[in-house]
Amino acid sequence: MSLSPGENSVDSTSSLSRLAPIEAVLFDIDGTLCDSDPLHYYAYREILQEIGFNGGVPITEEFFVENMSGKHNEDTAAFLFPDDHQKGLKFFDDKEAMYLRLAKEQLKPMNGLYKLKKWIEDRGLKRAAVSNAPRLNAELMISLLGLSDFFDSVILGSDCEHFKPFPDPYLKALEVLKVSKDHTFICEDSVSGIKAGVAAGMPVVGLATRNPEHLLKEAKPAFLIKDFEDPKLWAALEELDRKAGAATAAS
């Protein structure tokens, strides 16, 4: 997915530099730490076709992006099976089981993830994973990516009164880490996740991994990147470092 220079309405450098001194970075999991949406889409498509959803016609990737990506299973179950809650629960048991099998074989980190991990560790920043995923799913992905010891906390939508796109999971992460929203930014790939972060009062770095850029922009991220190798991200982090250094020198 190409990102042309200057297409974002907010300058990437200034949008993070105001956070200096930075205290924490919060991450979504699916589609952010790893490009997992293709695996979720495959599992949705296969299981839905098996049970005859949509007359047995496979769902499209566009249908998946619009109605499932980044959403909590309970909301998606209500959408897919509005008149049969038990069928929805059974479907997600089967879908998550297939996804976990696929993840164990195919899950790979987002490009540049470990570079950003080192940047965070070198500065002693706090960090949390914040996800709408089921706990087993979230913990497995973090483990497969070798990040179990990296995160100080894992906050799930099910831990909160409301899931993303409500701000509750990100507000809970701030509370658990004991950090300020004025010194924290978020990495997210979905519309619901970006909306949650913005509603919680923090700048969100949006990853244009799979979801359409125009939909992500409508959720008002600070800026969009292709992955964690994107020069826009590193220009913003360098400016953040520079501003923090200047503040330290002045004091």
Helices then strands, each counted (H, E), the chain: 11, 6
Band of residue 4 on the pLDDT scale cut at 50, 70, 90:
very low
pLDDT per residue over 48-92, tens digit each? 999 999 999 999 999 998 898 888 888 899 899 999 988 888 999
Could you write out the DSSP letters of every residue in 85-153?
HHHHHHHHHHHHHHHHHHHHHH--BPTTHHHHHHHHHHTT-EEEEEESS-HHHHHHHHHHTT-TTT-SE
User: What does the pLDDT read at residue 30?
Assistant: 92
User: pLDDT value at position 71?
Assistant: 82
| Bigger pLDDT: 33 vs 54 | 33
Q: Has residue 247 got a pLDDT over 80?
A: no
Q: Are 47 and 95 in contact (CB under 8 A)?
A: yes
Confidence of residue 2 (pLDDT cuts 50, 70, 90): very low
What does the domain layout of the chain look like in residue ranges?
A: 12-35+109-250, 37-106
**φ, ψ (nearest 5 deg) of residue 35:** -85, 75
**3-state class (DSSP) for residue 225:** strand
Task: Tell me what the mean pLDDT of segment 186-196 comes to.
Answer: 96
The predicted pLDDT at position 1 comes to 39
Q: Is the peptide bond before 21 cis (omega within 30 degrees of 0)?
A: yes
List the catalytic residue out of 11, 30, 168, 227.
30
State yes or no: is 30 an active-site residue.
Answer: yes
Give the H or E element holding residue 64. Answer: helix 61-67
In sequence order, what are the residues at sequence separation of 6 or more whose Cβ sits closer than 8 angstroms to the Cβ of residue 64?
A: 37, 40, 41, 44, 45
pLDDT at position 13, please? 52
Please give the model's pTM, rounded to 2 decimal places.
0.86
More confident residue, 211 or 21: 21
3 - beta bridge partners?
none
Assess whether pLDDT exceeds 80 at residue 10.
no
And the tokens for 126?
């706090």
| CATH class of the domain defined by 12-35+109-250 | alpha beta
Would you state the pLDDT for residue 55? 93
Q: State pLDDT tens for residues 124-181.
A: 999 999 999 989 889 999 999 999 999 999 999 999 999 999 999 999 999 999 999 9
Options 11, 28, 35, 84, the catalytic residue: 28
What SS3 class is residue 181? helix
| Residue 209: predicted pLDDT | 84
Q: How confident is the model at residue 251 (pLDDT cuts 50, 70, 90)?
A: low
pLDDT at residue 123 greater than cutoff 50: yes
For residues 110-137, give the mean pLDDT: 96
168 is catalytic: no
CA–CA gap between residue 21 and residue 29 (Å, rounded)? 25
What are 199-237's pLDDT values in tens digits?
999 999 999 988 889 999 999 999 999 999 999 999 999
- What does each C-alpha distance from 7 to 2, 4, 213 come to in angstroms? 11, 6, 11
